[in-house]
């Protein structure tokens, strides 16, 4: 018994099943895919450092650290810091081009407003930048507040809560037109979660990487002895990122409609 295979018919069936993306859809797919891949790399390494590497480092002797850490942690930190950059850049582009832009267009076209996308985006970025500056000054200049992790956690919780409340008020007022706020749940959720992500990226490049770079150089014998406070500062910043990643992921997931937290669906 033979089975005939009709190639044109098979290709026709495949054509009905598969729909090639348009150029606009392809660009969205690329940004979202790049954001996902870079984010998995970044957050995966963040959890590795906090859940695996921290307890591991406590159990090895100085000679083992000299042999293992410069190469192992040097490689991991390279992917870690550049994963953070690509995650934020891809997410920022997607947020500006497809999420925030849609709400601004609705406010202007339907609500009769005169809202500038660039102005809203620039004003939004000030929130995570200011939060990082305050956190940076605390970690670098107020060692008493980071000596006990629980005290610092309370301080950061209050700061993050204030910024989050400010962002809720910000989007509601900035996208107000015709007596109605046009901010969608997606803009609120990604705007808040993305702000956390920007703070996390700034922690990586402003505290975690510079401190670890000096520590690794001292361990490998290629640099001067690292001040003892650098390790504590990097640990606190890394642990802050680990905790911030949890609400970040929650807000990013809620942006896709499984839980409408804020604004319009």
Structure-token match 């922690």, residue found = 203
Cα 124–Cα 182–Cα 189 angle in degrees, nearest 5? 50
Radius of gyration for the alpha carbons in the chain, expressed in angstroms and rounded: 23
Q: DSSP readout, 182-249?
A: --BHHHHHHHHHHHHHHHHHHHIIIIIHHHHHHHHHHHHTSSPPPPTHHHHHHHHHHHHHHHHHHHHH
CA atoms within 13 A on the CB side of 241: 32
pLDDT in tens, the chain (265 residues): 455 555 565 656 666 677 788 888 899 999 999 999 999 999 999 999 999 999 999 999 989 999 999 999 999 999 999 999 999 999 999 999 999 999 999 999 999 999 999 999 999 999 999 999 999 999 999 999 999 999 999 999 999 999 999 999 999 999 999 999 999 999 999 999 999 999 999 999 999 999 999 999 999 889 999 999 999 999 999 999 999 999 999 999 888 776 666 766 6
Distance CA 244, CA 161 (A): 11
Closest C-alpha to 231, from 132, 143, 170, 154: 143
The contacts of residue 145 (CB under 8 Å, 6+ apart) are 138, 151, 152, 155
The dihedrals phi and psi of 176, each to the nearest 5 degrees, come to -85, 130
Q: Is the pTM of this model over 0.85?
A: yes
Tell me the per-residue pLDDT of 65-96, one tens digit each, with 9 for 90 and over: 999 999 999 999 999 999 999 999 999 999 99
Structure-token match 């604004």, residue found = 263
């Amino acid at each position: 018994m033979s089975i005939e295979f009709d190639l044109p018919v098979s290709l026709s069936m495949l054509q009905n099943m598969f729909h090639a993306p348009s150029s606009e859809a392809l660009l969205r797919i690329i940004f979202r895919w790049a954001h996902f891949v870079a984010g998995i790399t970044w957050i995966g390494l963040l959890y590795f450092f906090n859940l695996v590497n921290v307890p591991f480092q406590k159990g090895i002797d100085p000679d083992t650290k000299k042999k293992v850490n410069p190469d192992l942690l040097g490689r991991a930190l390279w992917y870690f810091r550049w994963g953070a950059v690509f995650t934020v850049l891809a997410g920022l582009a997607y947020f500006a081009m497809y999420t925030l832009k849609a709400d601004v267009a609705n406010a202007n076209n339907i609500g009769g407003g005169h809202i500038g996308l660039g102005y809203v985006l620039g004003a939004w970025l000030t929130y995570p930048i200011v939060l990082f500056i305050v956190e940076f000054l605390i970690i670098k200049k107020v060692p008493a507040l980071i000596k006990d992790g629980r005290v610092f956690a309370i301080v950061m919780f209050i700061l993050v809560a204030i910024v989050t409340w400010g962002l809720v008020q910000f989007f509601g007022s900035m996208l107000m037109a015709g007596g109605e706020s046009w901010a969608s749940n997606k803009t609120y959720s990604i705007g808040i979660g993305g702000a956390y992500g920007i703070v996390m990226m700034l922690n990586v490049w402003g505290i975690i990487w510079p401190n670890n770079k000096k520590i690794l150089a001292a361990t490998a014998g290629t640099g001067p002895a690292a001040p003892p406070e650098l390790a504590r500062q990097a640990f606190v910043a890394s642990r802050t990122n680990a905790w911030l990643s949890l609400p970040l992921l929650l807000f990013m997931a809620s942006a896709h409609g499984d839980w409408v937290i804020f604004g319009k669906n």
